[in-house]
Each structure stands twice: as C-alpha cells, then as structure tokens.
Amino acid sequence: MAEQSPRHLVIHSRMSQSTANGPGTRSVIWVQGCDIGCYGCFNPETHAADGSLHSVTTTEIAHWVRENANDGLTVSGGEPLQQLEAVLELGGMVKRFGKSVVVLTGFTHKQVLQRANHEQLAEAFDVVIAGPYMASQHLAKSLRGSSNKEFLFFTDTYCLESFSDIPDAEVIIDSDGSVTVTGVNVPLLK
C-alpha cells in the first residue's frame, strides 16, 4: 500500500516559542481563512481564504514543532477547522512526537463534533477551546476570548487548572528587532 502524501495547510503565520498560547512553552500556528466573522475579532487579517499566502505541508509543520523543544502546538486562526483534514493530520503527527495539541475554534461544541467524531478528535487534539468570540461576553482569560467559549478535553493531558496561569498576552522581540504581540488579550497591548 502506497504511503499517502502529506496534506497542505494554509497558514497566516507561526511562532516557535510562546507562553501565552497554551500551557507551558508552545509552538503556535495561525491558519489562514475564516468564514465565521465574529464581531470584534482581534485577528481579522487571518480571515481571507487566500491560498497563495503560505502553504506548507503537515509534515513540515510537525517536524518544526518537534525541533522547537517545547511542550506542544497550539493551532489558532483564522479558523482551524475549515482546514479540518489537514489539521487532524497535523495534530496526529505532533502527538506521535510526544507533544500536546491545543486548538482554538470559533465553532461551537456541537459543530466541532459534527465535523469529526470523538475518536478522530482524540487522536489529533488534547484540548479544543470551542465557541465563537462574543464581544458582549469579553473575558480574555485562560485562552478564552469570551466567557461562552468551552473547553473540550479529549485526553487527560490537561485540565481546567492547566489554563489558569497562562499569561493573557506577551510581547516578543526577535533578534532581528521584529516585535510580535500575541495572546488572548492582544487588543490591550495594541
């Protein structure tokens, strides 16, 4: 049986080390493309589904995560589940490397489970933080932009307390002088 080629994932950007995007120190990718359009989204530049931006293979991203010597990968966006097959494949690869996977989605709990079954999700993700951002319920704590967002735990790698001490935002200055501001409370820093 021939081995299947890796899928491609259209990403907006990536960061090799972050403490404001999940438990521990994590690699982060922001996927490109989102049709949900939550009012007040602080990442609207990731919404256009422009495949010409930066397409990478799931294998490339998984190896990049493994080489970063961190606790795992956080997938944000844009909307990760609009590239479901590629994100499931990537999550499975990263988990096989012994790393954890956290996914932030604007889809509700019910919509997540309509897109993939529990077994598929557990093979690829440890935690999904689900629900659209609702400006009227702004929270910006524990990776939840608004209080309606739910934690869906697919493994016992993490629990609610694992998310309680995550910084709400961080500022990273790279060696080339570029500045990156990230986290769930980025609007405060902009």
Task: List phi, psi (to 5°) of 130.
Answer: -115, 145
Taking residues 9-15, what's their average pLDDT? 91
Among 181, 21, 25, residue whose Cα is nearest residue 104: 21
At residue 48, what is the residue type? A
How far apart, in whole angstroms, are the C-alpha atoms of residue 96 and residue 26? 16
How far apart, in whole angstroms, are the C-alpha atoms of residue 32 and residue 82? 9
- Comparing 37 with 28, the larger pLDDT belongs to 28
Task: Establish whether the linkage from the previous residue to 183 is cis, with ω within 30° of 0.
Answer: no
Is the alpha carbon torsion for 1, 121, 96, 180 positive or negative?
Answer: positive
Please report the pLDDT score of residue 189 as a whole number: 43
Please report the pLDDT score of residue 150 as a whole number: 97
pTM of the complete model: 0.92
Task: List phi, psi (to 5°) of 90.
Answer: -60, -50
3-state helix, strand, coil in the chain (%, to 5): 30, 30, 45
So where are the chain's domains?
Answer: 8-189
Q: What is the pLDDT of residues 152-187, one digit of tens each?
A: 999 999 999 999 999 888 888 888 888 878 888 765
Q: What is the CA radius of gyration of the chain?
A: 15
Among 15, 13, 53, 44, residue whose Cα is nearest residue 31: 13
| 8-state DSSP, 159 | -
Please report the pLDDT score of residue 54 as a whole number: 82
Please report the pLDDT score of residue 186 as a whole number: 67
Q: What is the pLDDT of residues 63-102, one digit of tens each?
A: 999 998 789 999 998 899 999 999 999 999 999 999 999 9
Please report the pLDDT score of residue 179 as a whole number: 81
CB atoms within 10 A of CB 127: 26
Please report the pLDDT score of residue 94 as a whole number: 97
pLDDT band at 52 (very low <50, low <70, confident <90, very high): low
Token output for 125: 């993700």
For residue 98, CA distances in Å to 45, 101, 125, 128 come to 32, 10, 12, 18
Taking residues 141-149, what's their average pLDDT? 92
Among 74, 84, 77, 135, residue whose Cα is nearest residue 106: 77
pLDDT band at 51 (very low <50, low <70, confident <90, very high): low
